Amino acid sequence: MSNFSPELATILMMGGILVGLLTGFPVAFIFGTVGIGVGVLFFGTGIGEVIYSRMYGMMIEYVLLALPLFVFMGVMLETSGITERLYEALYLWLGGLRGGLAIVTILIGTILAACVGIIAASITMLALVGLPAMMKRGYDKSLATGAICAGGVLGILIPPSIMLVIYGPTAGVSVGKLFMGAFIPGFILSTLYMSYVAIRCYFQPHLGPSIPAEERKVPLATKLGKLAQAVLPPVILIFSVLGVIYLGIAPPTDAAGMGALAATLLAVVYRRFTWRGLVYVAYQTMKTSGFIYLIITMAVAFTSVFIAAGAGDVMKNLILSTPGGKWGAFIVVHFIFFILGMFVEWIGIIYIMVPIVTPVGQALGFDPVWFAVMLCVNLQMAFMTPPVASAIFILRGACPREYDIRMVDIIRGVIPFVILVMVGLALCTIFPQLVTFLPSTMIRG
């Protein structure tokens, strides 16, 4: 190792990331270039040994095999027609409320979140099904698009979440416990979102007019039948994944395989399974998983050099020296995640920051599952805060052109939901049992 100081390594690597992001190059190549470049400067030909151990540990991490299986499950559900059935059933029950269609959209997003686990699929499905219905009934563009973004983003928090699958091995925390820990906070956010829509539309009914009774005039038996047919299959799918994890029957990787099989069977039952569709699902699974694994590989290279050069200790000591004690440090960590979320993809944030802040959380005496879930809740805002804001761009690309949805409409719509994420963070901070209760009751962690 060279005689360069850890402080210099911190400046070079964090500064290199900042400059790289401003160039607009893909984040994976930025991580790899900065990490390997500074690694050669500090360690010379010994850089291979620095990167090897952490990279090898990532390659043999069994739980990461769940990632492509969860992606497969999500894409398969995207082709199954589950969203249309849910929307048709819930429309009959909640359409009469002011803002009812926006509430239905968030509720379906919550159900999809417990089935899909990837926001691109959730937001696209909600946009294609929910947006036309809301625009046809005269809903405010910002309210409609904000509800779609907020409901769709829940898919990255409510298990089975790809984010939690990646976070677990990075922080050395059980993925199963993270799944259970994120369950209640995810539903709290969903409840906050739906309550906001209901309250605002109650006082401003022109934003989300109710659906005339004649459009919902269906016999009660028919409404109950449609609801059962639409909701029962997702419930079975959710139990096939989360239930077996909670009961200790199978670890997350095996449960992901069961979920992929259940999603395929659901497509068969709905008569939406085709060989062409299977090829599409396989292609999208390889494409998405390959993209994620590329970022993981480059981020691991960056993190290996960052930790080995002593920069991790520099960052840890800097955070721990923050005024305000443990809660001051806690706020600083969340502020860093919030700012990074505006500019960096969540995968990069996890692989760069989690190895740094996890020892901070341990030093401050926080429960590791609670600390991890709180950061994952924080990252909900990253998908809705420009300039990166992947949820906004996904929705903008999925919006039918005839509705003339502009970026400013979507950004204006997501601002209240970003504030509600902060409210959710505050609730889980004041009442940590909201996170820790379910993991503490698991049969096997």
Print pLDDT tens along the chain (445 aa). Answer: 556 788 888 889 888 888 887 787 777 888 889 988 988 888 887 888 888 777 777 777 888 888 888 888 888 887 887 878 888 888 888 878 899 999 999 999 998 888 877 787 788 888 888 888 899 889 999 999 999 999 999 988 998 888 898 899 889 899 999 999 999 999 999 999 999 999 999 999 999 998 877 776 778 788 888 888 888 888 888 888 888 888 888 888 888 888 889 889 888 888 888 989 899 999 989 988 888 888 888 888 888 888 888 888 888 888 988 888 899 999 999 999 999 888 888 888 888 889 889 999 999 999 999 999 999 999 999 889 988 788 898 888 888 788 888 999 999 999 999 999 999 999 999 999 999 999 998 866 5
Phi, psi of 95 (to 5 degrees): -60, -25
Task: Label residue 412 exposed, middle or buried (CB < 10 Å: 0-12, 13-18, 19+).
Answer: middle
- Give dist(CA 22, CA 31) in Å, integer: 13
Domain boundaries, the chain: 63-297+311-441
Whether residue 158 contacts residue 193, with contact meaning beta carbons closer than 8 Å, is answered with no
For tokens 């690694």, what's the residue?
39
End-to-end CA distance of the chain: 40
In degrees, rounded to 5, the angle at the alpha carbon of residue 388 between the alpha carbons of residues 166 and 67 is: 20
Alpha-carbon distances of 299 from 29, 34, 319, 326, 340, rounded to whole Å? 9, 10, 21, 28, 15
- Three-state DSSP class for residue 241: helix
Q: Identify residue 292 by its one-letter amino acid code.
A: I
Across the chain, which distance is largest between two alpha carbons, in Å?
Answer: 79
Q: Measure the CA dihedral 400/147/83/111, to 10°.
A: 160
Name the residue among 131, 91, 121, 124 with its Cα closest to residue 107.
91
Whether residue 422 contacts residue 190, with contact meaning beta carbons closer than 8 Å, is answered with no
Name the residue among 420, 428, 429, 427 with its Cα closest to residue 327.
429
